[in-house]
Amino acid sequence: MGPEMYSGPDRCLLVCSRPQLISPQWGRLAAYSRCVRNGNKSQAISKPNTEFKGNPMATTHVEPQEDTSHAGQNQIINDLSIQVATVNGSGSQTANLVLLRAIFQMGIPVSGKNLFPSNIAGLPTWFTIRASKHGYIGRRRDSEYMVAMNPETAEEDVMGLKPGATCVYDERLNLKRLRQDVIFHSVPFDQLVTPVCPDSRLRKLVRNMIYDGVLAKLLGIEMEEIHKALQKQFRKKAKAAELNWNAARVGYEYADKNLVKTDPYRLERMNATQGKILIEGNAALALGSMFAGVTVVTWYPITPSSTVCETLTDYMKRYRVDKETGKATFAIVQAEDELAALGMALGAGWAGARSMTATAGPGISLMAEFTGFGYYVEIPAVIFDIQRVGPSTGLPTRTAQGDILSTALLSHGDTMHPMYLPSSMTECFTMAIDAFDLAEELQTPVFVMSDLDLGMNTWMSAPFPYPTRPISRGKVLSAEDVRRLGGFERYKDVDGDGVGYRTLPGTPDRLCGWFARGSGHNEKAIYSERPDVYVNNVDRLAHKFETARLKVPGPVIADSQKLEVGIVAYGTSHWAVEESLDQLRREQDIDAGYCRLRAFPFTREVHDFINRYQRVYVVDQNRDGQMLGLLRLDCSAGQIAKLRSVRHYDGLPIDAHSVTDAIVSQEAAN
Partner 1 sequence: MATTTVPSSPSSKTNRVGLEMAHYKGNKSTLCAGCGHNAISERIIEACFEMGVEPHRVAKLSGIGCSSKSPAYFLNTAYGVNAVHGRMPSVATGALLANRHLIAIGVSGDGDTASIGIGQFVHLMRRNLPVIYIIEDNGCYGLTKGQFSATADIGSKLKTGVVNDLPPIDTCALAIQLGATYVARSFSGDKRQLSALIKGALAHNGTAMLDVISPCVTFNDHEGSTKSYSYVKDHDEPVADVSFIPFFEDISVDYDPGTTTSITLHDGSQLLLRKLTADYDPTNKGAALQMLTESHDKGEVVTGLFYVAPKQPNFIDLLNVMDDPLATLPESKVRPPKEVLDQVMESLM
Q: Which of residues 506-535 bind partner 1 (CB under 8 A)?
A: 506-518, 527
Q: Whose Cβ is closer to partner 1: residue 395's or residue 516's?
A: 516
Rounded (10°) angle between helices 604-612 and 626-634: 100
The only residue of 292, 416, 452, 550 in contact with partner 1, by rule CB under 8 A: 292
CB 517 within 8 Å of CB 563 = no
Q: Whose Cβ is closer to partner 1: residue 257's or residue 327's?
A: 327
CB 95 within 8 Å of CB 208 = yes
- Beta partners for residue 570, in sequence order: 597
Q: Which stretch binds partner 1 (CB under 8 A): 169-177, 239-247, 288-296, 613-621?
A: 288-296
Q: Which stretch binds partner 1 (CB under 8 A): 167-175, 277-285, 443-451, 593-601?
A: 277-285
Q: Which stretch binds partner 1 (CB under 8 A): 218-226, 326-334, 541-549, 661-669?
A: 326-334
**Minimum separation from the CB atom of position 437 to partner 1 (A):** 12
In which element (H, E) is residue 487 found? none
The only residue of 91, 135, 293, 380 in contact with partner 1, by rule CB under 8 A: 293
The only residue of 13, 14, 159, 328 in contact with partner 1, by rule CB under 8 A: 328
603-642 positions binding partner 1, by CB under 8 A: none
Q: Whose Cβ is closer to partner 1: residue 339's or residue 395's?
A: 339
CA distances from 160 to 165, 181, 577 (A): 10, 12, 25
297-316 positions binding partner 1, by CB under 8 A: 298, 315
CB 631 within 8 Å of CB 568 = yes
348-367 positions binding partner 1, by CB under 8 A: 348-355
- Beta partners for residue 278, in sequence order: 460
Strand order in the sheet with 381-387: 331-334, 296-299, 355-359, 381-387, 445-451, 419-420, 599-600
**Minimum separation from the CB atom of position 545 to partner 1 (A):** 22
The only residue of 18, 239, 257, 327 in contact with partner 1, by rule CB under 8 A: 327
Please list, in sequence order, all residues whose beta carbon lies within 8 angstroms of the beta carbon of residue 465, skipping any fewer than 6 positions away: 426, 430
373-402 positions binding partner 1, by CB under 8 A: 373, 377
Q: Whose Cβ is closer to partner 1: residue 53's or residue 228's?
A: 228
CA 636, 641, 643, 649 dihedral sign is positive
Q: With binding defined as CB under 8 A, does residue 277 bind partner 1?
A: yes
> How far, in Å, CA of 314 to CA of 5, rounded?
41
Strand positions, DSSP E, 190-250: none
The only residue of 216, 218, 294, 557 in contact with partner 1, by rule CB under 8 A: 294
The DSSP call for residue 614 is: S
Stretch 399-418: interaction string toward partner 1, x if CB under 8 A = --------------------
Please list, in sequence order, all residues whose beta carbon lies within 8 angstroms of the beta carbon of residue 196, skipping any fewer than 6 positions away: 206, 243, 246, 247, 249, 250
> How far, in Å, CA of 630 to CA of 416, rounded?
11
Total of residues contacting partner 1 (CB under 8 A): 74
**Minimum separation from the CB atom of position 373 to partner 1 (A):** 5
**Minimum separation from the CB atom of position 491 to partner 1 (A):** 15
> How far, in Å, CA of 513 to CA of 503, rounded?
7
Q: Whose Cβ is closer to partner 1: residue 332's or residue 652's?
A: 332
Stretch 31-50: interaction string toward partner 1, x if CB under 8 A = --------------------
**Minimum separation from the CB atom of position 292 to partner 1 (A):** 8
Q: Which stretch binds partner 1 (CB under 8 A): 50-58, 117-125, 321-329, 402-410?
A: 321-329
In degrees and rounded to multiples of 5, residue 483 shows phi and psi of: -65, -40
Q: Whose Cβ is closer to partner 1: residue 450's or residue 519's?
A: 519
Please list, in sequence order, all residues whose beta carbon lies within 8 angstroms of the beta carbon of residue 332, skipping any fewer than 6 positions away: 296, 297, 298, 299, 309, 312, 313, 316
> How far, in Å, CA of 22 to CA of 585, rounded?
12
Q: Whose Cβ is closer to partner 1: residue 200's or residue 274's?
A: 274
> How far, in Å, CA of 522 to CA of 545, rounded?
19
CB 407 within 8 Å of CB 419 = yes
**Minimum separation from the CB atom of position 368 to partner 1 (A):** 10
**Minimum separation from the CB atom of position 471 to partner 1 (A):** 5
440-499 positions binding partner 1, by CB under 8 A: 463-464, 466-467, 470-471
The only residue of 116, 145, 265, 330 in contact with partner 1, by rule CB under 8 A: 330
The only residue of 179, 227, 276, 475 in contact with partner 1, by rule CB under 8 A: 276
The helix/strand/coil state of 59 is coil
**Minimum separation from the CB atom of position 272 to partner 1 (A):** 14
**Residue from 602, 604, 606, 562 nearest 584 by CA:** 562
Q: How many residues appear in the chain?
A: 670
